[in-house]
Amino acid sequence: MTKLLVGLLAFGVAFMPGQCTGPAVGVVDTQRVLNESVKALQYQKQLDDREKQMVADLAAIAPQIGKPELNARRARYLTELGQMKRDFEAQLTQQLNQAAGEIAREDHLRIVLVKAPTWAGGRDITQQVIDRLK
């Protein structure tokens, strides 16, 4: 009986009004960050511009070089573009993690999750992350 009472007391303390000040879980919609943040859009524009430049270069030199060399150059360009994309993704991931971490500390969140279907709520901090990625 004493153990039951202690258990109920501990359970009650966990749900005291002072303990229920709001969700301690933050949620970030990474797809929205990719679509709306200034930083992500800048990275995407740089990738698009470089790809257009590569296509123009290939079109300009195509009549002057043989097919094997053209294919080799195309492969180098694709490798370069892939590396550029990976670098931008790594930078954006680091910046997103930093922004989410800062917001979590400021708002006293215990954990920040990537948005996915969940059963328990959480506070969406996506807009705050987007605002910091300028």
pTM: 0.68
**Residue 122 maps to a domain:** yes
What is the b/e burial string over 85-98, where b = at least 16 CB atoms within 10 angstroms of the residue's CB? beebeeebeebbee
**What is the residue-level pLDDT of the chain in tens, covering all 134 positions?**
433 333 333 333 344 344 455 568 888 988 999 899 999 999 999 999 999 999 999 999 999 999 999 999 999 999 999 999 999 999 999 999 999 999 999 999 999 888 866 555 667 888 888 888 88
CB 26 within 8 A of CB 115: no
Report the domain count for the chain.
1
**Residue 8 maps to a domain:** no
**Residue 118 maps to a domain:** yes
**Residue 16 maps to a domain:** no
Q: Which domain holds residue 80?
A: 23-132
CATH number at residue 68: 3.30.910.20
Contacts of 125 (CB under 8 A, 6+ apart): 26, 27, 28, 100, 103, 104, 107, 109, 112
